[in-house]
Amino acid sequence: MMIYLLSLGSNVGRPEANLARAVELLRAGGVEVVRASSIYRTEPVDHPGQPWFLNQVLEVRTALGPMALLDLGRSIESALKRVRSVVKGPRTIDIDILLAGSLELESDELTIPHPRMALRNFVLVPLAEIAPGAVHPRSRKTAAQLLQECPDTAKVEKFAGPF
């Protein structure tokens, strides 16, 4: 069994319901959710002018290898009607693999640790909430340290609903 840290995000349709449905589909795909962060309302970073996001980080356990988990995430994105028309644009759901313990992987389809995670408050705030001691294998810094050093100034606030 492997432990992964996943980032989920949504800003189209019913974002809160999209996050919940993605978690249900992960569980149905053989993924056990060990811990879930609070849901955060976050300002768009790379493509301003779109609706704010809801973001969450999950610690999960599964027998799936990284590529199989990536495939499951993509199938969930497809089931929730994600459209990839604008890079970094609006989406019903986005599922990213952030960390997989000390595993480092780089392929055309998947890079672990996630290459931009240390630059994103919307990832680091919920990550540090549930796994402040999680170590980024390349920098050897913890999630809490990465958050303290993060250059991102986009707003991240706990979501109290409704969206």
DSSP-derived 3-state class of residue 6: strand
| Residue 59, strand partner residues | 5, 35
DSSP-derived 3-state class of residue 88: coil
The whole-angstrom separation of Cα 49 and Cα 8 is 20
Please identify which of the residues 14, 61, 96, 120 carries the catalytic annotation: 96
- Confirm if 42 and 116 have CB atoms less than 8 A apart: no
Told to judge if 82 belongs to the known catalytic residues of this protein, a careful annotator would answer yes
Told to judge if 21 belongs to the known catalytic residues of this protein, a careful annotator would answer no
Please identify which of the residues 82, 108, 116, 120 carries the catalytic annotation: 82
Helices (H), 7-142: 15-28, 66-79, 121-130
DSSP-derived 3-state class of residue 61: strand
Q: Which two tokens stand for residue 119?
A: 């630059």
Told to judge if 96 belongs to the known catalytic residues of this protein, a careful annotator would answer yes
Please identify which of the residues 35, 71, 84, 91 carries the catalytic annotation: 91
Please identify which of the residues 27, 61, 84, 94 carries the catalytic annotation: 94
The whole-angstrom separation of Cα 81 and Cα 39 is 21
Told to judge if 94 belongs to the known catalytic residues of this protein, a careful annotator would answer yes
Q: Catalytic residues, which ones?
A: 82, 91, 94, 96
